[in-house]
Amino acid sequence: MILDAIDESEAQRILESPDLLAIGARADEARRQMHGTRTTFVRVLEVHVDAVPAALPDRLSAGEFRILGRPRSLSAAVASVRAAVTLASGVPVTGFCLADVRTLEGAPLGAVCDALRDAGLEAIAETEVDGLASDASAVVRQVRSCGIALTRLIVRSLLPADRVATIVRARALQDEIGGFRVFAPLPRNSSFSAPSTGYDDVKLVAMARLLATNIESIQVDWPLYGPKLAQFALTVGADDVDGVAAVDPGTLGTRRSPIEEIRGNIRSAGLDPVERNARFEVIG
C-alpha cells in the first residue's frame, strides 16, 4: 500500500527540520513502496532549435532527442523538428516548453500543435509548474488532444517561500487531469538572491515524494545537479534520472562511459538501473 500524502503543514516542517536522515528514510520508504528498487534513467541528445546538426556524433546511444530553446517562429520550430526526426531514425523526438509553444507567433494553440505533430514531435519536453496560467488544465488537454504527449513537469525557478505551494500545484494539476509521469522538483535556474544548498535540495526531493504521491516518479537531472547529488537524491525519494549523456567521448575507457557511470551510481545506492526512452519504454 502506498503511503498517504502528507499535508502542507507537514511539508513545511520537513523543509525546516534539520533531521535529514529521518526525512530521507521516510521518503525512501514511500519511493520503495511505489517502485521497489527499480530506478529508471534516460539518455538524452540535446539539440538547439536553431542548430540541429546535419549528422549524428560518433558513439551515440539515445533514448530521446530533445530540442532546446525558444523557436523564433512556427516555421523554425517545424523545421527543427523535421531535421531532428530525420536524424533520430525512430528515437522519440521531444522539444520546447509548454509556455513557449502556447505563445508561439500568436498562432492558435491547436494549429501550432497540429503542425508540430505532423512534423514528428512526440512530446512537449517541459511543462513548467511555476509558469502555468489559470487555464493550465485546458491548455494541457488541448495539446494532448492534438496527439502530443505532456508527461514531464518541471520547475524553472523557485524561491524558498514558494517551495510547498509549487509542489502542491503539481499535485493539484495531476489530480485534475492526470497523465504526468515524472516531476522534477529541483529548479532549473538557481536564485541569486536565495541560492539553495545540497542539503536544501535533497530535502525538497524528499518532500516532493511525500507530498505529490499521485505523480508516479520524482526525477533528478544528472548533468544539472551532478552525479553525487543525483545519486543521493535516489536514496531520499527520487526514482528517475534525466539527461544522462547520450554520447560517449571514448576517452576514459568503457568503465567510465556515461552508461556505465549511471548504472554504477544507481547500483552503488542499492538500486536497480533500468534504461528507458521518452515513451517510458524499457530499452536496456
The answer to whether 217 and 240 have CB atoms below 8 angstroms apart is yes
69-120 pLDDT, tens digit per residue, is 999 999 999 999 999 999 999 999 999 999 999 888 778 999 999 999 999 9
The answer to whether 87 and 65 have CB atoms below 8 angstroms apart is yes
**Residue ranges with strand state E in 146-224:** 152-154, 182-184, 217-221
d(CA 231, CA 130): 25
Fold of 8-272: TIM Barrel (3.20.20)
C-alpha cell of residue 183:
516531476
Mean pLDDT of 211-228: 94
Site of grid cell 523554425: 76
Site of grid cell 534520472: 241
pTM of the model as a whole: 0.94
Residue 252 has pLDDT above 70, yes or no: no
45 Cβ neighbours under 8 A, 6+ residues apart: 60, 62, 64, 65, 66, 246, 247
C-alpha cell of residue 232:
543521493
The answer to whether 120 and 93 have CB atoms below 8 angstroms apart is yes
Domain borders along the chain are 8-272
